Chain A
Amino acid sequence: MTRAFLGALGVALAALALYPFFGTGYGVRATLQIFMWIALAGSWNLISGLTGYVSFGHVAFFGAGAYAGAILVAKVGWSWPAASLVGGVAACVLALVIGYPCLRLKGPYFAIAMLGLNEVLRALVSYFEGLTGGGSGLSLPTLDATIPIYYVMGVLAAAVTLLTYLIITSRFGLRLMTIREDEVAAEALGIDTARHKLYAFLLSAAGPGIAGALTARDQGYIEPISVFPLAMTITMIVMVLFGGKGTVWGPVLGAVVLFVSQEFVWARFPYLHQLLFGAIIVAVVLLMPRGVLGILQMKYRLPRTI
């Protein structure tokens, strides 16, 4: 089974690596979007799926990375790969600054604080218009780099998934899950919960930061309302929940299924789109809170590291 799985994975990765040579421009861009969602959902899973701390403003890191990267490209003239790395670093720095105090908050308070921070960030980006262009947005120099960005985003999605696997199979991951199940007990066991939560938070910020910078470069134009939308956080969460939170492949499964259905099915019903999305959220929460993989794990006694 493991061998068959690795084989299938290898074939899938090879197909994806070759795809730009025969796919259409749209196919490449759509797959690139799937990579982005895998990276975002996987990153949210790292903090919220593993520790149970619900980051309700995770798109803040995406937006921070987008603006950091775009400013470096547009104003300083950096190349986009370097700017994207700095986008990730910027998101980590932000995570450090807000995570240190906010991770002390429990339950819904952490969720609301993250929601608030995302709004603060959006308003601040609008305010400092000298640097960010404010509400007018920021245009990057024209450059067609969709295919290289496709590969980088693909590597990012793979890296986030691999990281999740490594964490879940490590002592670090076990400790995070102990925090999720019972934080007081975790502390009683001698786990430095504050430090562990912060590490998980930092790791979960890097992916969205890089993804944000890559997206900004690919789109060539960003504005505050389009890189800090609450809906994006919700989409990440629903993807993880659908696939199975706290699992390795859940976010991947959720991102692929939800994005594909969004693109090919819902787009045909523009006026019902939100209603359908709302119904799916309600259905996922009520009917399958453990997600597809969670259900399969229970049913077929699959390994925890799926």
Chain B
Amino acid sequence: MEPTKSLRKLLILLILVTGMTGLQPGFSSAADQRAIEMMDFDEFSPWLSRETDSVYVINFWATWCAPCVREIPAFEQLHATYADSGVKVLLVSLDTPAQVENRVIPFIERMDIQSQVLLLDDPISNRWIPLVSEEWSGAIPATVIYSRDFRGFYEREFKFEELEAIVKPLIRDL
């Protein structure tokens, strides 16, 4: 997809969200944060190889995916516990753009998600799945965890303790 197209979608979304806040002034600050950035894989790919002093935990999920929804609290807890220690949690939704308004944003609000969420809108997944990881068959949930000296890929569901066990040693080495 051309960048202009996704930019336009983002703008439409922003307008929609801003429009909603007009009706509900009490929620304006919360709703402002709830605009989700949408991008195709080329726009997203820098997230997979940022060379900074952080541990990146990138989780691919969707609102319709029961095991994904089940493990979201574990990622949220990871964010809450370790964001100050240099852990960056990114929740990459694979919902369709049409589902953003009626599913993704309500889900984020209901769960009060604090981690950063973005929407990867790129239907030709055969092209980009192996660029995320050669190990990835395409099933979700799937998670990439990396830091400067480590890279792990996990096609599985996580509990908080399991995430913590991977992330903790990486924080020590930052």
Q: Do A and B bind each other?
A: no
Contacts from A to B (Cβ < 8 Å) = none
